[in-house]
Amino acid sequence: MKRKDNSQNNSRRTFLKGITFTLGSSIIGFPLLSCNADRPADTTDQEMPAGTDGSQNRKLGIALVGLGGYSTNQLAPALQETKNCYLAGIVTGTPSKAEAWKAKYNIPDKNIYNYQNFDQIIDNKDIDIVYVVLPNAMHAEYTIRAAKAKKHVICEKPMATSVEDAQRMLEACRENNVHLAIGYRLHYDPFHQRVMELGQNQVFGKVQSIKSHNGFAMGSGSSNSWRVDRERSGGGPLMDMGIYCVQGACYTMGKAPVAVTAKFGEVTRPELFKEVEQSISWQMEFENGVIANCHSSYAQREDLLEGTAEKGWWRLGPAFGYEGKQGQTSQGKMDYPNIFEQVKQMDGQAESFRNGQPSIVPGEMGLRDVKILMAIYESARAGGKRVEIS
C-alpha cells in the first residue's frame, strides 16, 4: 500500500509562507522587479492610478477586454466570487455581446467600451484594472493603451508574440506607474504550489529530470480560429499550450533554463496547419544539468507535469486544465482540493495592486517566458540547434 504524502504538511506551510511574504527570486527564477521598479519613492506629485493606496480596502473594478470563451466561461463567473475585485466593465467589438453582458451582469452603459473608444477608460473611476483577454498579437497594443490610461493590467499568456513587444509593455507600465501581471493562474493552485515546493526545496533531494506535455486535438472546424493564424497567434501550440510546459519546468526549478533545443513534429493535417506548427518537442537545459523534456500539440490530448529527484518523484495528471487535477508522489496521493483558480488568481493580483506590491506573476516573468518561447522556435527552425537563453 502506498503511503500518503505526509511530508507535505510542515514543509508546505513554510514554502507557501515564503511565496506569500518573500516574493523572492527563488520563486520565479530571476530578481523580482515590479512595474514600479526604479520609480522615485516620493510619488505625492505624480498622478497615481486607482487602487494603489494601501489604506483602501475596497474591491477593485476589473474591465475584461475581449469577451471570448475564457472571459465568458471562466473569468466572468470567477468575478462573481472574488473578494478583492469585481466585474466593473467590458470592452468588446460586438454590440450584441455588450447588450447580453450588460443584462446578465448589470454593467452600466458608462462602463461598456469598444475598441475604438477604449482610451476613454482613463476617465472612468470605476475601473482600476484592465484584463487583456485577446488573441496573442493584440496583447501589446491593449496593455500599452491601458497603461497610458493609468490602469493596472493583467495580461493573458503568453505575454506577447515577440520579445520587443514584451519589453514595450513593461516600459509602458513603468512610465505610467502601474503594475503589470500575467494570467498565470497555476501559481495560485495548491497542486502546482506543491510541485514548486518539491522542486525548489529539494524535498526528495536534487531534481534529476522533468517531463511536461500539454495539448489537445483541434477540430476540423478550426480553420478560421486565430490559433492557426500566425499573424494573430504568433505560433501554434507552443504559444497556447506549450507555455504551460515552459512555466511548469521553470517553477519546478525556481529558475530559468540556460539553453533549449527543439524540433517541429510531423504535419499530418496540412489543410489546417498551413501557418503554424501542428506539434513541437523541446528540451530545456538548466544550469545544474537538469533536462526538462517537453511536448505540445494540436493533434493529441496531453496533460502532465512530472519530476524525478534523488529520493522520490511526483506527477500531476491531469495537470493544466481548469478542473480535475490529480497528483501523486512517491509517498502517496497529493490530497488537495480542486479550486476555482481564476478566483484565487484575480483576488491575489488585485490585492497586490491595491497594496502597491508586485504580483507573484509579474510582467518580468512574462518577458522571461517570451524569451524562452522565441529561443525554442529559433532552435526548431534551425533543425534542433542548441540556443542559449540570454
End-to-end CA distance of the chain: 47
- The answer to whether residues 186 and 244 touch, using CB atoms and an 8 Å cutoff, is yes
Q: Which of 86, 113, 131, 244 is catalytic?
A: 244
- The answer to whether residues 25 and 31 touch, using CB atoms and an 8 Å cutoff, is yes
Name the phi and psi angles at 264, rounded to 5.
-75, 150
Q: Which residues pair with residue 262 across a beta bridge? A: 282
Q: Which residues pair with residue 209 across a beta bridge? A: 291, 308
**Measured between alpha carbons, how far is 204 from 313 in angstroms, rounded to an integer?**
7
Residue 362: asked if its preceding bond is cis (omega within 30°), the reply is no
Helices 363-381 and 163-175: crossing angle in degrees, nearest 10, is 170
**Measured between alpha carbons, how far is 129 from 101 in angstroms, rounded to an integer?**
18
Q: Which residues pair with residue 287 across a beta bridge? A: none
244 a catalytic residue: yes
**Measured between alpha carbons, how far is 336 from 345 in angstroms, rounded to an integer?**
17
Q: Which of 59, 151, 157, 211 is catalytic?
A: 157
- The grid coordinates of residue 316 equal 500531476
Residues annotated as catalytic (active site), given as ranges: 157, 244
